[in-house]
Every structure is written in C-alpha cells, then in structure tokens.
Chains A and B, each alone.
Chain A
Amino acid sequence: MKKKAETKKYKAPFLKTVKKHWMLLLMLAPALLYVIIFNYIPMTGIVLAFKKYQYAGGIYGSPWNGLDNFKALMISGKLGQVTRNTLLYNIAFIFLGVVCEMGSAILLNELTNKYFKKTAQSFMFLPYFISWVVAGAIMYNIFNYERGVFNHILTWLGLNPFDLYNKPAAWPPVLIFLKLWKGTGYGSVVYLAAITGLDQEMFEAAAIDGANAWQRIRYLTIPSLKPTMMIMVLLAIGNIFRGDFGLFYQTVKSSALLQPMTDIIDTYVFRLLIDTGDIGVSAAAGLYQSILCLITITLCNKLVKKVNPDYALY
C-alpha cells in the first residue's frame, strides 16, 4: 500500500514535467533519436564479438560461439603489436602536441609585430583545412623515392637517397611530425585564447617586481595555462587507445611491409571488417578497444577528481 503511494507520488512530477516541457522534449527528440540509432543500438551490437556471424541471421540471429573470436584474435598475434603502436603513437602525439601547441601559443603572444603574428598564424592553420587524402599526397610528394623533394635535396647535398616507403623504422618520427604539422595551428588557438583571458595586471606587476620576460613565461603564463592543459590532456587520454585512422590509412596505404611500425587498432579493425570480412573477430577487436578506452577515461577522471575536482570531466 505504502509502496503504491510512493510510486504515485513519484510519477506525478514526471507527467507534469512532460506536459510542461513537451516542446523542449520535442526539440530534443531528433538528437535523442540520432544517438539511439547510431550509438546506443550499435552498443548492443557488441554481442557480435561473441557470435559466429552469418549473413542470414544478422547481428542478433547469428549463433553464439563463446570466446572463439577472441581466441582467433589472440592467435593472430597482432593484438599486442597494434595495441602497443596505438598507445605509443598517442603518447607521443599528446605529449609533443601539448608542448608544440602551448609553446607556439606563448611565443605568438610575445611577438610584437601584429602583422607578422597574423600572417604566421594563418599559415600555421592551413594544414588543418586539408583532408588526410591531400596530406597523404603531400607526404608522398616529399618522400617518394624516385622523385620526392626530400631525396632531391639529399642528392644535391651529395648524400644517399632515402627510401622511406621501404623503411618501417623511420615511420614513427615522420607520422608524429605529420600529425603535429596538421594540428598545431589549430590546437594553439585554444591556449592563445586562454592566455588572452589572463589578468594583464599580474604580468605588469611581475615586470615591476623585476621578473624578466622568460621568468614571466616560466612562473606566470605556464602555470596559468595548467587548467586548460589538464582538460586537453584528459580528453586526449580518454581516447588513448583510439588512433587517428585517417593519418595512418592515407599515408601507409596497404603496405604490409610497414605494418609492424604503423598498424594501429583502428586500421586493424578496419582491415578485418572490410578486406577480410572477418566480422566476428573485427567486432571482438573493436570491443577490446572500447573497453580499454572506457577503463582509461574512468581511471583518469577519478584520479584527477582526487587531485583537483575542478579539472574533472564529469
């Protein structure tokens, strides 16, 4: 009896809210429908990782096969390699990305010539506007063995030409460079915005107190950028097991020779799905990736919450 009364009491505000805000709910409906179709229903599709996919049965009708897909994934021996590559590349991207973005924002802010500053910033932004297809073409143009500009210069200097597309070991620095090349201009704006938002009197006071320009950067600018940096890093760490598919796919293409150094989880999952059509195994690899991501972001957020709740994402 008591319970019934409680549920009734609970339901009344629900209907009242629906009635009062039906228009807002209606405005929310398209986006809700979107994430339900493209995010939440596919989440249930992770059952595919435990199934033997058959075309007739589809996602839900195919027979279960327990952990067979995961066993196949283990046997392939690729999982360790792609996980390592994804992780190491992303660590480099995050660390060097923060250094370059913050560094260029601080330096841009110090430049006295407005015209130079503006022009330089426009140039730095250009790579952000092109697709990975074009970026891959540009890279090929530069490093192509027979005709690339890079070898052009090497030969001109009297050095031996260098065949990047046959040297897997040389790829990490090149890919890291390409990623920084494309993203630094964009990323630096976030920090530049944060710098312009800082209290200028603080800098003037420091100057009067005898802090020189380097000291002001070291003891004022950098520490005040910490909250922005923390959020950017945290967001990036949450996706540390998710690679930049375009970067790797459009530069490496389908070169098997380069795979040991350039294959990431995303390209591996993609190949399993599209090239080999190994749907169950591909779903298993995807689930593995999603779980790794969820664990990292949860741990990371907990840790940050403990250290400083203001920086936490949620």
Chain B
Amino acid sequence: MVKQKHHMSKDELSVNIVGYVVIGLFALVCLLPFYLIIVASFTDEASLIRNGYPLIPTDISIQSYQLCLKNPVAILQAYGTTIGITVVGTFLSVLLATMTGYVLSRQDFPWRNKFSFFFFFTTLFSGGLVPWYMMCVRYLNFKNSYIAIILPLMFSVWNMIIAKSFMMGIPSALTESAKIDGANDFVIYVKLILPLSKPLIATLSLFSALAYWNDWYNCMLFMTDENKFMLQYYLQRILGSAEAMRIVAEKSGMALPTIPLESMKMAMTVIATGPIVLLYPFVQRYFVKGLTIGAVKG
C-alpha cells in the first residue's frame, strides 16, 4: 500500500498508535525470553542461585560455556548427527513433495483427483499412535537407526498440497511443448519444472529443515544409544538430569557438587538453539514469501 506523505488524519493516527503499541509490545514479549536465557547463560552460578535469573546482566561469567565445551565430544556428536540428518532429510522430503505434487498437478493425468484424495484421506483418519509405533518398531526395526528420524518426517501431505498448488500455476503448455520435443515426464520435472519452482523449493526446504532440526519426538521414541542423539533430545536429557540432580540434592539436604547446573542448562539451551536462530535473518525473506505461496491455496 502506497502511503502518501500527508498529515495523517485523526483516525489514521489512532490506528497507528494502537498498532505501534500492540505490535511493539508483542514483539518485545517474543524477544524477551531469548534475552533472558542468554543473560542467564552468561551469569555466575552463585549469583543465579542467590538472586535468581537476572533481568539486567550482572556478575558476568563464561564458566558455563567453558564447562559445556570442556568435553565437547558429546555436543559435537549431537551437532554432527543433527546437521547430517537435517541435510539428508530435507533433500529427500523436498524431492518427494515436489515430485508427487508435480504428478498431481498434471492436468492430463486422469487419476490425479483419485490419488489426491488417497493422500488427503490420511489427514482425515489415522490409526493413532500405537499401530504406527508398532509398525516402526516391530516391522521396520527402527530402534537406534537414523532412518527412524528421517522417515517419519519425510513426507507431509500439506507440503505436497503446497507443491501441487504452486505447480498448477505453471502453464501446462510448457509441459506439453516439452513432451512434443520428446522429453519424458521425469526429465520435464527435473529440468523444466524444478528450476521454475525456486520459491517453492526454498519454502519447503525451510519447513523440512526446521522440522528435522527441532526433532526430539522421534529421537525420544526410537533412540536409546546416546551416541546417536539429536541436539534437541540431547538438550532435553541434559535439562531433565540437571533438574533431577537438583531435586535429589534439595530433598537429601546434601550440597550439590560444584557444577554450575543452572547456568549450564541455559548455556546448553543457547548452544542448541543458536544456529537455527542465526540462520533466521537470511531465510526470513524466503520464508514469508513461501508462506504466502502456501496461503494462496488458502
């Protein structure tokens, strides 16, 4: 919307004042917890115990990070696993969503509606957690296998629908003329359709990468080998065991060993969240654009 440089009328002014106050406050509320975690992670443990989590940084210390990184093997391993799974999983899931979406977007494919409903029906009815879990554990042998994390997040009907509706916007004449030139369907998909679908690919990649990076659920269900933990589940375990230690110490009246549990918990949270948040400013543009694509289908 083009705003003219005129003096705002009273009502426009009042809308803007409400807008700045409400949006400003909400944005602050969204940002504040991140600030608190970061400040706490850099605060001296003794000060944390004595004064609580601070609003304003005092007694700055990097001891928690030093301790977290003193024995970095476990953290680096979790990082490696998470990055590897995110890259492979994102690639496969984007491939699957766009390939399926393309087939279902083809107007000359007579069964497209039947197959579309075959996929869509899975969002209407499901067997529930138990049969799915049994399938994964008993019949596919998922325990402690990386496939257990890649497969469950690999195909999403919603991503497929986004892909399909995006590709329906590509003129079908393109496909037809390529067919006349003798290209087969797969070649058309790879060489013609995919290059025209960059915003779609960016969006789906982001959705998938986020899902894989933030996964703790599948890791919790299927992984027992500590060497194969993903970052978020590793964090969950650390937070849980730190809390357990604190409760035991409190109930037994024994002093805790001199590990700075509280600030270490915060440091771990920062370490596990860091990369995806740092990535955020770079991908934000595509993200909003891509979501818009998703919304067009509406």
Binding site for B on A (CB under 8 A): 17, 21, 23-24, 26-28, 30-32, 34-35, 37-46, 48, 58-59, 103-104, 107-113, 116-117, 119-127, 129-134, 136-138, 140-142, 144, 146-149, 151-153, 181, 184-186, 189-190, 193-194, 196-197, 200, 203, 212-215, 217, 227-228, 231, 238, 245-246, 250, 253, 266, 269-270, 273-274, 279, 282-283, 285-287, 289-290, 293-294, 297-298, 314
Contact = CB atoms under 8 A, between A and B. Distances in A.
Contacts of A119: 27
A214 B10 CA distance: 11
Contact of A133 (B186, B236, B287): B236
Contact of A227 (B213, B235, B298): B298
B75 to A, nearest CB: 15
B52 A282 contact: no
A314 B117 contact: yes
12 contacts: A34-B154, A35-B155, A38-B135, A107-B23, A109-B1, A113-B20, A126-B34, A133-B236, A197-B296, A214-B14, A273-B129, A283-B130
B295 A228 contact: yes
Contact of B189 (A27, A108, A132): A27
Interface string B169-193: 0000000000000001110010000
A123 B27 contact: yes
Given A119-B27, A283-B130, 16 more contacts: A27-B102, A30-B100, A42-B131, A107-B19, A111-B16, A121-B288, A122-B284, A125-B30, A134-B269, A138-B33, A142-B53, A184-B26, A189-B295, A193-B292, A197-B296, A285-B128
B34 A108 contact: no
Contacts of B128: 42, 46, 269, 283, 285-287, 289-290
A250 B236 contact: yes
A212 B295 contact: no
A120 B24 contact: yes
Interface stretch (B62-70, B118-126, B194-202): B118-126
Nearest to A34: B155
B74 interface: no
Nearest to B250: A146
Given A189-B288, A297-B124, A270 B15 contact: no
A187 to B, nearest CB: 10
Given A48-B134, A184-B26, A294-B124, A130 B214 contact: yes
Contacts of A283: 128, 130-131
Nearest to A273: B130
Contacts of B253: none
Contacts of B294: 190
A90 B284 CA distance: 28
A152 B55 contact: yes
B16 A112 contact: yes
A134 B140 CA distance: 30
Nearest to A17: B110
A193 B290 CA distance: 10
A27 B185 contact: yes
B254 interface: no
B73 interface: no
B252 interface: no
B210 interface: yes
Contacts of B132: 38, 42, 45
Given A212-B9, A213-B12, A217-B15, A273 B133 contact: yes
